[in-house]
A and B are shown apart, each in its own frame.
Chain A
Amino acid sequence: MLNRRDLLKLSSVAVGSLLLPTGLRPAFAAGGDITIGAPLPMSGPFAANGKFGSMGTAMLVEEVGKVLDRKLSYLEIDTEGKPATAVRKVQEAMERGVTLFSGGILSSEALAMGKEVAKGKGVFITTAGADEITGSECNKSTFRWSVPTFGAIEQTVRPLIEQLPNAKRWYTITPQYVFGDGLLNAAKAIFKEKGIEHVGNSYHSLTEKEFSGYLTNAMAAKPDALLILNFGSQSSDTLRQAVSFGMKNRMTILLAWASGLEQFEALGPELMEGVYFGAQYWHGIDSPFNRELVAKVQAKHKMNPNYAFASAYLTTKILIDAAAKAGSADGPAVTQAMEGMKYAGLTGDEEIRAADHQVIKNYYLLKGKAKSAMKDKDDYADIISFGKSFQSPEQAQCKMA
């Protein structure tokens, strides 16, 4: 058995080895390139989103080619959908000299990565949903393109109430965590203001797959409108089960936080017809930049850009444009250039609010079309209304350090 002296000797050897000159370790400083890190869930349950996000970043980098007379490249970082892996790989990328990051689809990953990038004085722009990103956990390095829960509800529930004055009784189905509560609280505030009766709410867990019990409760409350506040596969499952229960014929259904084209492809027009959806992006948006992007993506990839693709393309562009404007790829310089930046974006004129790093952009209310009314295979919905609604940085509780 090893005695104490041997143990101490071996420990000191281990420590000593760590003090070797860094030259003995593999060198991994970035060369002359400006590299955009794209931390995305390329494997795991959200791999489909990651794949399109990566395609968006890759297309923009390829298109631009050079900035500040330096070659532009991108580094795809597979976060595996796990915050721990995401942070570790972002740390590694920063050790290799990467300072600019665009990605982070999942809220938990994005929050953690934002903190890590801030430590290294880099820049991180994300499309993740958690309000805290530009709210209570905001920081100097993190920017967010997507509209927070407040705006998503303001631009879906409010216009729908105005369109359907007879829908006086609303029922909500909510995932029980911060994101769900954010949407629910915003909806409750509008209900109160407009004299709407909130006839009930069903909370469910983050791992729920079976919604028939909640839907039975909803039907028993006899609402005029059902407001679905979960997202991703959970919202698809809720809608499928609601339609199979015949609820679409008995009430108006609004899914406030839809993923857009990728979700609609999975749902299909039969389920979607007559259902309302809230969306951050839709390829049918009539803005010069979006029309240009749609044409480019159709030419290159023979498809329409979905939310993951288009948002990654745009957020990467914002980083590169800011670097060009700053004349430097250093994090603090790019951050400064991004603060208050106005540009022609996917949703029309967009602006990055300096106080909390939130992009001020439109959110959309869509309505599912009948299959017979679709002009092409992706023409699943019409835009009913859109607009910009944001809390002030103080209301969002952002205290920028």
Chain B
Amino acid sequence: MNRASLHFLLAALVAIALPLFMRSGTLASEVLIFAMAAAACNLLLGYTGLLSFGQGIFFGLGSYAAGLTLLHTSLPLALALVLSAITGAVVATGVGWLSIRRQGVYFVMLTLAFSQFFYFLAYTFKDITGGDNGLLNIPRPAIGPFSLGESWAYYAFVAVLFLLLFAALQRVASSTFGRTLLAVRDNEERARAIGFPVRNFKITAFAISGAVTGLAGALHALLIGVAPLSNIDYHMSESILIMTIIGGTGNLFASVLGAGFYVIVSDLLSSIWPRWLLLLGGLLIVVALFMQKGLWGLLERLVEALPMGRKSSINSSIESPIQPESEGRGI
């Protein structure tokens, strides 16, 4: 089995295991929704070297697009989701087109500025977005004969979409386009010298990431029946980035691990200790200092430590996009 198939199999196992081990269909759905958002973020961070604080914009706009479509039109759910993905892609193209004109810290600042810009747009146009109160009463219509009202039924729907999107993102990552993104990340000047249209590649990566994140935002709004202002806040971008970094930027499945870990651990810790954010902060420090490949890297080390793991590591290939020593170079 090749590496991509193994990762897809692991993603499918996660989708199968969640209903068996979790008591809440809502929480399980949230894990997969954020797994999609983190995987989309990973396409930018891990594969293209772009540390974007704009992911919250696409997530929030996806929520609003789905909510407004379902509240004010009679379009079916599938079309509302497609519109959310298109909204995410279009806005991401614009944000990407302007942001990638600068590199390094200036790129990060531009995405942060866009994040604030869209937050205040949503806050100001309260007649459309609901402002601080959020966009309320978002329905969760049925898909054909299948009702999505029950939380595990909705989970099944999210799980199918998650697996389809995961496979699609894998396809993108392993395509010539994806390989070129790695080349751009590792040495942008060299890629440009070879003749790659680096700028177009980065904008396309932004658009794909925006589409998937927008769709994740739409699924989130359907999950809770509300598109809250916090969905477009820069804290949302921050959370998605933290999930991506905790999981590891090495491959797309690492983002699934990161999202699952973040959502489930946050839920557990918050019920145990009100100051749980302190623990999360501590964990981030540990990841930054000692686990730069994230949870996936830790998993790799554990498997390699096993007798059989020494012979065949779960990720022994040189094609891994993990390049912790080069982290930050591409931004």
As a 0/1 sequence over residues 110 to 124 of chain A, the CB contacts with chain B under 8 angstroms (1 = contact) are 011001100100000
Knowing A11-B160, A24-B20, A83-B134, the reply to whether A88 touches B174 (Cβ < 8 A) is no
Contact across chains for A107 and B132 when beta carbons are under 8 A apart? yes
Which one of B133, B271, B277 contacts A130 once the chains associate, using CB atoms below 8 Å?
A: B133
In the assembly, what is the distance between CA of A347 and CA of B167, in Å?
Answer: 60
Across the interface, name the chain B residue whose C-beta is closest to A87.
Answer: B224
Residues of B within 8 A of A108 (CB): 132-134, 228-230
Any chain B CB within 8 A of the CB of A349?
A: no
Across the interface, name the chain A residue whose C-beta is closest to B149.
Answer: A119
In the assembly, what is the distance between CA of A11 and CA of B220, in Å?
Answer: 21
Residues of B within 8 A of A92 (CB): 23-24, 26-27
In the assembly, what is the distance between CA of A111 and CA of B226, in Å?
Answer: 10
Any chain B CB within 8 A of the CB of A195?
A: no
- What total of chain B residues lie within 8 Å of the partner, measured CB to CB? 54
Any chain B CB within 8 A of the CB of A25?
A: yes
Any chain A CB within 8 A of the CB of B19?
A: yes
Of A13-21, A208-216, A293-301, A388-396, the one contacting chain B is A13-21
As a 0/1 sequence over residues 254 to 287 of chain B, the CB contacts with chain A under 8 angstroms (1 = contact) are 0000000000000000110011110000000000
In the assembly, what is the distance between CA of A43 and CA of B112, in Å?
Answer: 25
Which one of A18, A83, A130, A206 contacts B156 once the chains associate, using CB atoms below 8 Å?
A: A18
Knowing A14-B16, A17-B19, the reply to whether A112 touches B226 (Cβ < 8 A) is yes
Contact across chains for A1 and B225 when beta carbons are under 8 A apart? no
Across the interface, name the chain A residue whose C-beta is closest to B156.
Answer: A18
Contact across chains for B30 and A88 when beta carbons are under 8 A apart? yes
Across the interface, name the chain A residue whose C-beta is closest to B278.
Answer: A43
Interface residues of B in 266-325 (CB under 8 A from A): 270-271, 274-277
Contact across chains for A177 and B270 when beta carbons are under 8 A apart? no
Any chain A CB within 8 A of the CB of B15?
A: yes
In the assembly, what is the distance between CA of A268 and CA of B170, in Å?
Answer: 59
As a 0/1 sequence over residues 105 to 121 of chain B, the CB contacts with chain A under 8 angstroms (1 = contact) are 00000000000000010
Chain A: minimal CB distance from B291 (Å): 25
Which one of A19, A42, A95 contacts B151 once the chains associate, using CB atoms below 8 Å?
A: A95
Of A2-10, A164-172, A336-344, the one contacting chain B is A2-10
Contact across chains for A43 and B275 when beta carbons are under 8 A apart? yes
Any chain A CB within 8 A of the CB of B330?
A: no
In the assembly, what is the distance between CA of A107 and CA of B131, in Å?
Answer: 12
Contact across chains for A2 and B8 when beta carbons are under 8 A apart? yes
Contact across chains for B160 and A78 when beta carbons are under 8 A apart? no
Contact across chains for B270 and A111 when beta carbons are under 8 A apart? no
Residues of B within 8 A of A154 (CB): none
Residues of A within 8 A of B98 (CB): none
Contact across chains for A26 and B23 when beta carbons are under 8 A apart? yes
Residues of B within 8 A of A11 (CB): 12, 160, 163-164
Chain A: minimal CB distance from B105 (Å): 23
As a 0/1 sequence over residues 197 to 214 of chain B, the CB contacts with chain A under 8 angstroms (1 = contact) are 000000000000000000
In the assembly, what is the distance between CA of A174 and CA of B59, in Å?
Answer: 30
Which one of B156, B226, B277 contacts A15 once the chains associate, using CB atoms below 8 Å?
A: B156
In the assembly, what is the distance between CA of A245 and CA of B49, in Å?
Answer: 49
Chain B: minimal CB distance from A235 (Å): 16
Across the interface, name the chain B residue whose C-beta is closest to A28.
Answer: B23
Chain A: minimal CB distance from B311 (Å): 24
Any chain A CB within 8 A of the CB of B242?
A: no
Which one of A13, A43, A83, A137 contacts B276 once the chains associate, using CB atoms below 8 Å?
A: A43
Contact across chains for A178 and B131 when beta carbons are under 8 A apart? yes
In the assembly, what is the distance between CA of A111 and CA of B130, in Å?
Answer: 11
Residues of B within 8 A of A51 (CB): 274
Which one of B19, B225, B270, B277 contacts A18 once the chains associate, using CB atoms below 8 Å?
A: B19
In the assembly, what is the distance between CA of A105 and CA of B174, in Å?
Answer: 48
Contact across chains for A10 and B12 when beta carbons are under 8 A apart? yes
Across the interface, name the chain B residue whose C-beta is closest to A9.
Answer: B12
Which of A47, A111, A132: most chain B CB closer than 10 A? A111
Chain A: minimal CB distance from B229 (Å): 7
Interface residues of A in 55-96 (CB under 8 A from B): 76, 78, 80, 82-84, 87-88, 91-92, 95-96
Any chain A CB within 8 A of the CB of B190?
A: no
Which one of B20, B163, B230 contacts A84 once the chains associate, using CB atoms below 8 Å?
A: B230
Residues of B within 8 A of A112 (CB): 134, 136, 224-226, 228
Across the interface, name the chain B residue whose C-beta is closest to A24.
Answer: B20
In the assembly, what is the distance between CA of A251 and CA of B224, in Å?
Answer: 47
Q: A78-B270, A92-B27, A107-B132 are in contact. List 11 more A-B contacts (CB 8 A).
A: A2-B170, A10-B12, A11-B164, A13-B12, A19-B156, A78-B271, A84-B226, A88-B30, A108-B133, A108-B229, A177-B131
In the complex, 28 of the A-B residue pairs with CB atoms within 8 angstroms, ordered by the A residue number, are A1-B174, A2-B4, A2-B170, A6-B5, A6-B8, A7-B8, A10-B12, A11-B160, A11-B163, A13-B12, A15-B160, A18-B155, A24-B20, A26-B21, A26-B23, A28-B23, A43-B270, A43-B276, A50-B274, A82-B230, A83-B134, A83-B224, A87-B224, A107-B133, A115-B136, A115-B137, A116-B225, A137-B133
Q: What residues make up the interface of A, taking CB atoms closer than 8 Å to B?
A: 1-2, 6-7, 10-11, 13-15, 17-20, 24-26, 28, 42-44, 47, 50-51, 76, 78, 80, 82-84, 87-88, 91-92, 95-96, 107-108, 111-112, 115-116, 119, 130, 132, 137, 177-179, 205-206
Closest 10 CB pairs of A and B: A83-B228, A87-B224, A18-B156, A17-B16, A92-B24, A78-B270, A10-B12, A112-B226, A26-B23, A42-B274
